[in-house]
Amino acid sequence: MSFKYHWEDFTPGWTHESPSRTLSADEIVAFAREHDPQRYHTDEAAAKASPFGGLIASGWHTATVAMRFMCDGYLTASSCIGSPGIDEIRFLRPVRPGDALRFRATVIDARPSTSKPDRGHVRWRWEVLNQAGEIVLSMIGVQFFLRRTPGR
């Protein structure tokens, strides 16, 4: 299989930014009913009486939007072979219906595997920003990628 991106392409400072996507109230409610049915995600009237003052997206919904941005931006065109997980996730601001979200991925560091010469480790900072440029979600995590030239 041919890939656009391999481990060697993800050098510290490498950045990807996505176009924006607007989240609707219907999307927020549908996701929440299935996965996070708290009142401020599913019921507009109850959400108005909450500390948020209105309907907001689940942080997990925002994280799945980030994952889609990641896949569309670089991941499905890459030699990624998985991830050991997320080291940090922060839900920094509420996401509301009509918010236009965009995604920014930045390589923090990259190093070859010491035990498997065909792959490398990339540590990322992933951010979701709203239309005002405010970071609403921040994650730090790791992905593994196959190397274009193993062991070099």
Ordered domains of the chain (ranges, CATH): 7-146 (3.10.129.10)
Closest to 133 (Cα-Cα) out of 97, 98, 103, 96: 103
Q: What is the pLDDT of residue 3?
A: 97
Q: What is the pLDDT of residue 152?
A: 62
User: Per the structure block, which two tokens stand in for 87?
Assistant: 């080291």
Burial of 69 (0-12, 13-18, 19+ CB in 10 A): buried
pLDDT tens track, the chain, 152 positions: 799 999 999 999 999 999 999 999 999 999 999 999 999 999 999 999 999 999 999 999 999 999 999 999 999 999 999 999 999 999 999 999 999 999 999 999 999 999 999 999 999 999 999 999 999 999 999 999 999 988 66
Amino acid 10 reads F
